[in-house]
Amino acid sequence: LGDGGNYGYSSSGYSVYEEENDRLTESLRTKVSAIKSLSIEIGTEVKNQNKMLSEMENDFESTGGLLGATMSRLKTLSRGSQTKLLCYMMLFSFFVFFVIYWIIKLR
């Protein structure tokens, strides 16, 4: 009976450790599962963010091209219109001087 009682005591001690190990294993399994699902969600979010960044990059490139073309047109327009602007200014000044001369002459 001494051996039987001793065996029973060892068995119950082993059972406590085994239950503790099972509990810790289940806790670890739950944590690993949570980390796995979180990492999958992070991966999905990173893919979505990369897709949005790529689309934004394309939009910025097209906007930059459009802005560059507009600036080129403005430069061309400003080069050509300086002569026209100068002529208009001279005609306007002649007109103003003529009107002033005419007003002075009428008095």
- Tens-digit pLDDT profile for residues 97-107: 999 988 888 87
Percentage with pLDDT > 70 across the chain: 82
Rounded distance between C-alpha atoms, residue 5 and residue 97, angstroms:
129
Amino acid symbol at 70: T
Euclidean distance between the first and final Cα of the chain, in Å?
A: 146
Average of pLDDT values for 68-77? 77
pLDDT at 7 over 70: no
